[in-house]
Each structure stands twice: as structure tokens, then as C-alpha cells.
Amino acid sequence: MSDVAHADHGHAEHPKVPYFLIAGALFVMTVITIAVSYVNLGKMGNVALALFVASIKASLVMLFFMHLKYERKTLIIISLVPYGLALILLLALFPDIVFG
Amino acid sequence: MSHAHVIDPAEPAIEDVYNGKLAMWLFLCSEVMFFSGLLGAYIALRLNNPEIFEASQKQLHDHVGLAAFNTLLLISSSLTMALAVLHGQNKNTAKQRLMLLVTAVMGTLFLGLKFYEYSTHIRVGEVPSKDMFFAFYYTLTGLHGFHILCGVVPMVGLWYYAGKQDVSAETEMVGLYWHFVDLVWIFLFPMLYLI
């Protein structure tokens, strides 16, 4: 029995995840991040762009490699909670950042 | 499948969330907080001491190529890990074991290159005590490297046991962990080397 036939019959509920496409996108975005870091967009511009691209890459990893796109809503909510807490943590550090 | 299994399109599921998988997700939630604390401290101290951080960060510029290669290595290893999980679920043990082994080798190579990078820094006196930037550099990449090691060891174990029993669920759990380690590096690489 071929892999494809096996996958179709035994695990019909498994979605086809475009793993190679996602890996390709992550490769391209890594190259873009490095290339753009040599272009002067102003300190904040470079930082914002690098973190924006990193966030997209992280989202792709979570959605496709970690299968979050195909998971139950409960698990998706659980997995997102710490990002809210991390945001609160950064906001709590804000006075230290501003007033040093 | 012997009986019709209706899947609500709004709730597509790869399979049921078993205890181990839920436990791994909860552990990864705590890991997010662990790294958030460190990165938060890095951001706060860096914004208050821009001169120290930027002067020392320039020392990493010679290593951007190596770090970029390591980044691509980790992304590739995430791909092979995802394929290991897929082959495990499809009961294709030979391919599952091959992908586990390839992933473990790439993880080990990442660590090897990281240690080479450390050695080039240490040789010129860029040790953790040099300044705040290097303290963070070694703490963040060291803890990340430790996470890599903690992924490679069970991977080798899975490679061994996959030949004896069904370890597809365990492979998925280690896979989730491995993708998270990749995710952390996605942020560490630009924050330490590029910006």
C-alpha cells in the first residue's frame, strides 16, 4: 500500500498540510529579514520590520508546523493565553524602559 | 474508516487532544513566559543602555552568516520533524525514523556551530562578564541551546523505540516542543544579531 493510499484511507481526517511551502516561505522571510537589516530605515523602522517579519514566521510555525490551524478551538485559546500575559509583562516593564 | 465520522468544518481536528499533547501545550505556555521574562529584561535594559548594547552587538556582525545558516538549519529541522510526525501518524515507521534521525543530526549540527561561535568570542575576551550585552547573549543563546539539547535527546530515543513500538503520539509531542524551540530562535536571531 502506498503512503498516499494509506493516508487517504487510514487517516481521512488528517488535513494535507503544505509543509514544504511553509518551510520555503520561512526560508524566504529569513533572507528578507537579513537583507533588510542592511538597509537603513531608521532604528525604529528596522526594529519594527524585523519583529513584524519574525511574528509572521512564528505564526506560520504555530499554525502549520504545530497544526494549530487544524486544532480544536479550546487548544488554540490555551496556546494564545501566554502571549496576552507576555504583553502584560512588557507593559509592566514600560515604566522601567521610560524612566530607566 | 469503518463508520462515518462527521467533522464539523468549523472545528477541523487532526485527532483528539490527548493528555500528553495538552500537557505539552501547557508546558510550552510556561516556556513562552520563561522566554518573555528574559526578552523583556533584554528590551528594558537595552533601551536604557543603547550605547553598550550597540557597541557590543557590532562584534556579532561577523557571525551573521553563521547565525543565518543556523537559522535555516533550524527551519529545515522543523520541516523534517513535521514530516516525522506525519509519517508516524501514517504508520510509516521507516520514514518516521529517518526523519527523526535527520532532525536530531541537524539539531546537533546547530549546537556544534553555536559552540564554535562561542569559542571565537571567548578567544577574544568576549565572555559573559564583558558587558550587559554579552551577559544576555550567552544567557539567551545558552538557554536556547540547552532547549535544543533537550529536544535532540528524546528524538534519538524515539528513533530507537520507533523500531519496536508505536511512538507516533510521543513523536507529535516532541515535534511540538521542537517547533517551539525553532520559534524562539526566530525571535532571538534578529533581536541579537540584526537589530
pLDDT 10s digits, B130-141: 889 999 999 999
d(CA B81, CA B86): 9
Chain A CB within 8 Å of residue B123 CB:
no
Inspect the interface and report whether the beta carbons of A13 and B13 lie closer than 8 Å: yes
Q: Where are the alpha helices (DSSP H) in chain B?
A: 19-48, 50-57, 64-89, 93-123, 132-162, 168-189
Contact assignment for A6 to B89 by CB distance below 8 Å: no
Chain A from 9 to 68: CB within 8 A of any B CB:
9-15, 17, 19-20, 22-23, 26-27, 30, 33-34, 37, 46-47, 50-51, 53-54, 57-58, 61-62, 64-67
CA distances from B44 to A13, B175, B176 (A): 46, 32, 30
The C-alpha cell at A16 is: 494535507
Contact predicate B66/B119, CB 8 Å: no
For residues B132 and B125, what is the distance between their CA atoms, to the nearest angstrom?
Answer: 14
Query: Between chains, do B26 and A19 touch, taking CB under 8 Å as contact?
Result: no
Rounded CA gap, B44 and B37, in Å? 11
Distance from CA of B13 to the nearest CA of A (A): 5
- For B31-70, the pLDDT digits (tens) are 999 999 999 999 989 988 888 888 888 888 888 999 999 9
Domain that holds residue A40: 1-66
Give chain A's length.
100
Q: What is the pLDDT of residue B14?
A: 46
DSSP A3-68: HHHHHHHHTTT-----HHHHHHHHHHHHHHHHHHHTS---HHHHHHHHHHHHHHHHHHIIIIIT-G
**Domain limits at B49?**
19-194
- The CATH number of the domain holding residue B38 is 1.20.120.80
* A4 has a pLDDT exceeding 60: no
- For the segment A13-23, what is each residue's pLDDT rounded down to a tens digit? 567 889 999 99
The pLDDT confidence band at residue B173, using thresholds 50, 70 and 90, is very high
Query: Both A49 and A5 in a single domain?
Result: yes
Query: Which chain B residues are within 8 Å of A3, Cβ to Cβ?
Result: 87, 90, 92, 95
Give CA–CA dist B40/A93, Å, rounded.
Answer: 7
Q: Does B83 lie at the interface with A, CB-CB under 8 angstroms?
A: yes
**Looking at the structure, do residues A35 and A10 belong to the same domain, yes or no?**
yes
| pLDDT of amino acid A6 | 38
Name the domain count of chain A: 2
- B82: how many CB neighbours lie within 10 A of its CB? 26
Does some domain include residue B2? no
ipTM exceeding cut-off 0.90 for this assembly: no
Contact (CB, 8 A) for B155 and B107: yes
Amino acid at B176: L
Task: Count the domains in chain B.
Answer: 1
Instruction: Check whether B73 has a pLDDT greater than 50.
Output: yes
Mean pLDDT of B167-179: 95
Q: How confident is the model at residue B8 (pLDDT cuts 50, 70, 90)?
A: low
pLDDT attached to residue B87: 94
